[in-house]
Structure 1
Amino acid sequence: MTQPIFTPPLEFAFRIRLDFPPGARSRFALPGGTLRGYVPVIGGTVTGPRLNGTVIAHSGGDWPLIRPDGVIAFDARYLIHAEDGTPIQVFNRGYAHAPAHIQARIEAGEPIDPADNYFRISPVFEAPGGPHDWLTRTVFAGTGEKHADHSFFDVFAVG
């Protein structure tokens, strides 16, 4: 059995809350049974030990690909305004999937136990030189939690 070279630690860096408008999401069919969706980001917050700020309203959105196997592949872009005024671009990709009965509850806006929905992300950041450029040279992984009008993302720096 091969042993890993090194098992990197995860350090909680911050939580992002993205706010979305209420109501139905835009979706359209693609060949092969997939759907493309869109939801604008209307605001949010960033809180944590390594970054605090706000999500700039209407600075982007998420364009998920909903696959026939029930997997949702996220592709989100938006801007953060750090507490010190620094603009930070977020590119967030990931996957979510859950059993059909759990996914139906999510779609209906019902609360679920986050452990019942595999929701993992791998965000990448662009930031100018200065106090937040550590974001541009660090690998991140995270978890998500979906609600009817917002989502939470816990972002961890991979050591």
Structure 2
Amino acid sequence: MTAAPPVPGLEPAFEVEAHLGRLEDHGTTRAGHRRIVPITGGHVRGLVDAQILPGGADWQLVRPDGAIEIDTRYSARTAAGEHLYLRTFGVRSGPPEVLQALLRGEPVDPSQYYFRLGVHLETSAPRLAALEHSLFVASAIRDADRVRYTAYRVT
């Protein structure tokens, strides 16, 4: 018997609102145009509820075509004191004028640009360990001072 692999689906898992500090432009490095955006706080709500701790960041790489490679790392803590480490990787792209408007902090309709993420979770909390057994993808929105995304568990 030859069975086909299951077709993946998406289940809403959690929402994230990450508050951002001032963008630091590091200029062109050997990897490309590097920008770092501090993550100063925020929250996670859904399968897990937690407060995002200050100290994380998005280590962005601006590609020659204007698209931005996303590489974030940050931590959150539940009300019970459990820690969650989140890492995202993805891309934000769109027409140059839309990306420039986002950079200036102007409101932009999310349908005007592409912003998708893979989300990796780690925890030492036994109660949250099941989160480490799934893959998550997200659709994100960039606001002037925050990023919001809805993460979906790939079934």
Q: Please give the per-residue CA displacement for 1:58-91, whole angstroms capped at 9, x wherever unaligned.
A: 2x11100100111110111000112332101111
Summarize the Cα distance change of 1:135–1:39 in structure 2 as closer, same or farther, 3 Å threshold.
Answer: same
Name the residue aligned to 2:129: 133
Q: Which amino acid aligns with 1:152?
A: R
1:82 aligns with 2:78: yes
Q: Say what the alpha-carbon RMSD is for the aligned residues.
A: 1.5
Total equivalences in the alignment:
152
Name the residue aligned to 2:50: 53
Q: Please give the per-residue CA displacement for 1:12-71, whole angstroms capped at 9, x wherever unaligned.
A: 1111111112x4433321248x301111111011112x111110112x111001001111
TM-score relative to the length of structure 2: 0.91
Name the residue aligned to 1:5: 5
Name the residue aligned to 2:58: 62
Q: Distance in 1 between matches of 2:29 and 2:77?
A: 34
Q: Distance in 1 between matches of 2:102 and 2:146?
A: 12
Q: Which amino acid aligns with 2:142?
A: K
- Is contact 2:70-2:88 (8 Å) kept? yes
Name the residue aligned to 2:111: 115
Q: Which amino acid aligns with 2:98?
A: I
Name the residue aligned to 1:29: 28
Query: For structure 1, which runs of at least 5 residues remain unmatched after alignment?
Result: none
Name the residue aligned to 2:14: 14
How much has 1:125 moved relative to structure 2?
A: 0.9
1:153 aligns with 2:149: yes
Summarize the Cα distance change of 1:129–1:43 in structure 2 as closer, same or farther, 3 Å threshold.
Answer: closer
- Is contact 2:73-2:85 (8 Å) kept? yes
Partner of 2:126, secondary structure, is coil
Q: Please give the per-residue CA displacement for 1:125-144, whole angstroms capped at 9, x wherever unaligned.
A: 11114111112110010011
Runs of at least 4 residues of structure 1 off by over 3 A?
none
Q: What percent identity do the matched residue pairs reach? A: 27
Q: Distance in 2 between matches of 1:102 and 1:27?
A: 22
TM-score relative to the length of structure 1: 0.89
Q: Which amino acid aligns with 1:151?
A: V
- Is contact 2:83-2:125 (8 Å) kept? no
